[in-house]
Chains A and B, each alone.
Chain A
C-alpha cells in the first residue's frame, strides 16, 4: 500500500495546495500568537520585573486588609515597620518606594514646567550594587549623602547636567543634591525622577507622600513583621503581571478567537478539498478494491494521505509562524517603543499546540470524506462512468442538530445579555453560527433562486446550477460567510466601542486646554492671540470671580457659563447641568505633590467671595482645569460682578498638538496665566485606541485572506467536479463566453448571498456583544453600525467571489466538449 500512498500523494499534490495553505496560515497564526505572547511576557519581565531581579523574596502588604501604609498610598507597607526590616536586613534588602517633594534649581527657581512645575519625585537606590534595578546611562550611582542620580528624560526636559545641584524639600528637610549620574527606569511601577541612597531617602520619612510599597530581599527574610506578606520573587512578578496585564490576556483571547475562526475555515477548506478530490478518485479506489485492497487498506491509505498533508502543512505553518513572530518583535519594538517586547523564549507548548491543531484540523476535516470513500463498491470501477450523486441535501440528523443549535444558541445569547457572561456569549454565538452553517444546504437553494430570479437568463441558469447541489453550494458559501460575519461583527463592535470610549473620555475630559488668570481678568488681546494660534479650533473666555474655598488655601476662580457647548467635548453638559447649591471641582487639577484638595465627594464646603459666603455640596469631576463650576443662581449669591478669568480652548482635529501646547504655554507665560492641557492624555488615548483598532483590523485581514482561499478553493474544485456537465452544455450549444458568464454569475450569486447573510448575522452578534459587555462597561454607549465600512466589506466580498471564479471558469471553458465528455 506504500507505493499507492506515495504515488497518490505525488499525483494529487497540486490539488492539496489550497488545503495546505489554509492549514499553514492557521497554524502560523497560532504560533505567531504564541511567540508574541512569549515576547511580551519576556519584555514585561525585563521591564516591570526589574526591581525584583536580584531578589529571592518580595515583601508587600497583604491584600484584602486595611492598608497599613500612609494614607496617600493604599497597598503600601507600614512605613516604620518596613524601615526597621530593611535596616535589619541591611545590604540584602532593597526598599521600593517614592516621595513627592518640592524642587528648585540652584537659582531658587522652581524645577521643571507644566503640571509638575516645582515638584519632583525621589526614590531610593539599593545599597547592594547587584540589587540596583535602575539602568545607569551616564555618570555614576550616588556614593554618599548629598548625591543623586536623575532620570535621563527628566534631566533632558529640565536641562539638568551632571554636576548640577538641586534643592529638594522644604524648610527643615530641604537638602541640596548634586546630580552625579543619569539613569533610565525599565519600569513605571516604582519610577521616580531622582534616586538617592537609602539613608538619604529616609530623611523625608515624615513627609505625607513618603512610602515603601514593597521590599525586595536577597536570601532569608527571617522573622516577618506583623502586617506583611512574603512571596517568592519570581512568583510575585508573574502574579503582579497577570493582575496588571488583564488587558494583555484579553488581547491574547481575542487573538485566539481569530485563530479559531481561521482554524474553522481551514476545516471547511480541507474538508471540501478532500471530498471533491476523493470523489474524483472514486474509480481508483474501486479498482483498488477489485484488485484486492480491503476497506481497511483503502481507508488506511487515505487517512495516511490526509495525515501527511496535515503534518507537512503544520510543519510549514510552524516554521512560518516562528519566522513571522520573531520578525514581528523587532518591528513592534520599533513602532511602539513604549511597549517593549523581550527576546521570547521558544514557546514550545504553543509550537506543539499549533502543530497538533494543524494535524487535528486536517484529520478531522478529512474524516467524513474518508468514510464515504471506503463505502465505495468495487463494482464502481466497472461502470462506464461514476456519476456523483448531485441530489445531496441536508440529512435528517443534520437538520435536527442544526435545529437544536439554532434554538440553544439564541437562548444562550439571551442569557449572556442578561447576565453579562462572555462565556455564554461565545458559546451561544458559536452554536448559532454552526446551526446556520449546518442548515445551509436546506435554505441555500431557495435563497439562491430568489436572488437569481431577477438577474435574467444567466441568473436563473446559475441559480439552478447552484441550487442543484445544495451541499456543495452551502460549503462554498460557508468560507465567505465566516469571513463576512467576522468582519461585520468586528467592524460594528469596534465602531460601537470606539464611539463609547470617545464619549466616555469626552465626559471625563471636556475641555482640551485652559488658561487661567488669577490676579487680573482675561484681556481681549489675549483671547485674540489664543484664537489666532494655529491648531486652535475655538476659544472662549469664561466669566467668573475669585473665591476662597475650604480645603484649598489659595484663591481659585469660580465660574459659571452657558456657552461651554462651543468648546466642550461633551457638549457643555459639565458646565450647564449644575444644580444650584452644588459646586463642581476638577479633582485632578488640584492634585500636586505639595498638597491635595482636601475634599471628598459630597462634602459641604464654604465658598467665600469678599464678605459673602455660601455653603455648597462638592461634586468632584475632572477635565476643565484649576477652577470651580457653579450654577448661575449660586454665582449670583456669591457676587454681583463677574470678569473673564479663564480661556477654554478646543483644539482642531489633526493639528500638531505638541506645537499648539508649546504656543499656548508661551502665551500663558507672557501674560502670567496658568496653562493646563489635557491634549497629551487625549493623544495617548487616541493612540492606544488606534493601535487596538488597527491590530484588530490586521487580524481581520488575515482571517479574510483565509476565507478567500476557502471560496476560491471550493469554487475551483466544484468547477473541476462538474467538468463533464460543462462539456455536455458546451456540446449542446453553450458558447465559451456563455459558460464563463454562467460560472461568474454563479460565483457572484453565492458571494452576494454569503455577504448579505454574514452582514445580518455579524450585526446581530455585534449587538449581542454590545448588550453583553460594552453597555455594562461604558454605560452611555450606543450601538453604532458603520454602514460605509460594511458597504466596503460587501463590495470586497462580492468582488472576491467574482475573482475567485475567473481562473476556474477559464479552465472550464478551455476544455473542448469532446475532451470533457471523455474525462475519466
Chain B
C-alpha cells in the first residue's frame, strides 16, 4: 500500500479491528457472482436485466462498474449489495452466500459487511450529520462508546466535515452530504463499500473531492470500493473498470 505523504486532509483513521478483520479472512476476493441472472416482469414485458454474470471483486481495490442506462449495472450492484435477490445464480460476499439469508439475516449482513454511498438521498433528514454517521452502530444496538465517537470524529475530520457534525442534512451542501455519507459507510469498516453514482449530483470540483476521498479510503485503509457510474472521468479514479451492456459484462 502506497501512502503519499502529501500535506492535505489528515489521514483516514485505521483501527486495530480493521486489520484483525482482514487477517481473519484469508482471501483476496471480497465478493463474487456466479452465473447471476435477474429478470423483471413476465411474458412480453419480460426484461432480462442480468444475463449470467460471473464476477470476482478483488479485496482492497477500487472497482468501477460502467455502462449506459439500462445496461444492468445498478441491478448488479443491488444484487451484490444484498439489496435485491437475483433470479438465478449465486452471490457470495465475505464468504457468505447471500441467497441463503432471509430478509432479517440479509439486513444484519448489510449492516455489518456493506457500506453505501448513493447518488442522492444518503442521509436521514431528521438526524444530524453525526447521528447519521453513527446510525449503523445505533441500528446494530451496539453501545456507542467513546472509541466509536472518536472514530466518527476522526473520519469526519479526515473528510473535512468535522465542523458540520451538529447540522441537519438540509443545512449541508451536496458535497458535504456525500462526505458525511462516506464517513457513515466507512465507520463499520465494511467488506464492501458500494457507491452508486456518488458524484452524479455534484459540480465537477466537488465531484473530484468526493471521488478522491473514496480513493483514499482504498489506498489508506485498504477498503474495497465498488462504484457504479456512467461517467468516464469518474471511472478514471478506479483501479479496475468493468463495462456492462445489455445485462452482460463486455
Chains A and B form a bound pair:
yes
* A1:B126 contact, CB within 8 angstroms: no
* B127:A381 contact, CB within 8 angstroms: no
Closest CB-CB distance, B82 to chain A, in whole Å? 9
Q: Tell me if A293 counts as interface (CB < 8 A to partner B).
A: yes
Interface size class of A (residues with CB under 8 A): 20 to 34
Near A by CB (< 8 A), chain B positions 87-137 give 103-104, 107-108, 110-112, 116, 118, 121-127, 131, 134-136
Q: Tell me if A382 counts as interface (CB < 8 A to partner B).
A: yes
> For B74, what are the chain A residues with a Cβ–Cβ distance below 8 Å?
382
Contact stretch, chosen from A87-95, A284-292, A623-631: A284-292
Q: Tell me if A4 counts as interface (CB < 8 A to partner B).
A: yes
Q: Tell me if A633 counts as interface (CB < 8 A to partner B).
A: no
* B78:A382 contact, CB within 8 angstroms: yes
Give Cα A542 to B146, complex, Å. Answer: 104
> For A4, what are the chain B residues with a Cβ–Cβ distance below 8 Å?
124, 126-127, 135, 138
Q: Tell me if A8 counts as interface (CB < 8 A to partner B).
A: yes
Give Cα A293 to B111, complex, Å. Answer: 7
Contact stretch, chosen from A179-187, A294-302, A702-710: A294-302
In the complex, the chain B residue whose C-beta lies closest to that of A10 is: B126
Closest CB-CB distance, B180 to chain A, in whole Å? 13
* B107:A289 contact, CB within 8 angstroms: yes
Q: Tell me if B184 counts as interface (CB < 8 A to partner A).
A: yes
* A297:B126 contact, CB within 8 angstroms: no
Give Cα A2 to B132, complex, Å. Answer: 13
* B118:A292 contact, CB within 8 angstroms: no
Q: Tell me if B17 counts as interface (CB < 8 A to partner A).
A: no
- A interface vs B, CB < 8 Å? 1-4, 7-8, 10-12, 283-284, 287-297, 377-379, 381-382, 824
* A379:B121 contact, CB within 8 angstroms: no
Q: Indicate whether A7 sits within 8 Å of B135 (C-beta atoms), given known contacts A290-B110, A294-B104.
A: no
Interface size class of B (residues with CB under 8 A): 20 to 34
One digit per residue, 1 when the CB lies within 8 angstroms of any chain A CB and 0 when it does not, for chain B 65-95 equals 0000000001000100001100000000000
* B111:A292 contact, CB within 8 angstroms: yes
> For B184, what are the chain A residues with a Cβ–Cβ distance below 8 Å?
291
Give Cα A290 to B110, complex, Å. Answer: 7
Q: Tell me if B16 counts as interface (CB < 8 A to partner A).
A: no
**B contact face: mostly helix, strand, loop, or mixed:** helix
* A7:B126 contact, CB within 8 angstroms: yes
> For A293, what are the chain B residues with a Cβ–Cβ distance below 8 Å?
107, 111, 139
* B121:A295 contact, CB within 8 angstroms: no
* A11:B83 contact, CB within 8 angstroms: no
What are 9 A-B interface contacts by the 8 Å CB criterion? A3-B135, A3-B138, A288-B124, A290-B110, A292-B139, A294-B103, A377-B83, A378-B110, A379-B78
Closest CB-CB distance, A386 to chain B, in whole Å? 10
Give Cα A290 to B83, complex, Å. Answer: 7
* A291:B126 contact, CB within 8 angstroms: no
Q: Can you list the 3 inter-chain pairs with the closest CB atoms, starting with the nearest? A: A292-B111, A11-B126, A7-B126
Q: Tell me if B140 counts as interface (CB < 8 A to partner A).
A: yes
In the complex, the chain B residue whose C-beta lies closest to that of A292 is: B111
Q: Tell me if B196 counts as interface (CB < 8 A to partner A).
A: yes
* B139:A297 contact, CB within 8 angstroms: yes
* A292:B136 contact, CB within 8 angstroms: yes
One digit per residue, 1 when the CB lies within 8 angstroms of any chain A CB and 0 when it does not, for chain B 163-196 equals 0000000000000000000001000000000001
Give Cα A1 to B140, complex, Å. Answer: 9
Closest CB-CB distance, A294 to chain B, in whole Å? 5
Q: Indicate whether A7 sits within 8 Å of B121 (C-beta atoms), given known contacts A290-B116, A292-B108, A292-B111.
A: no
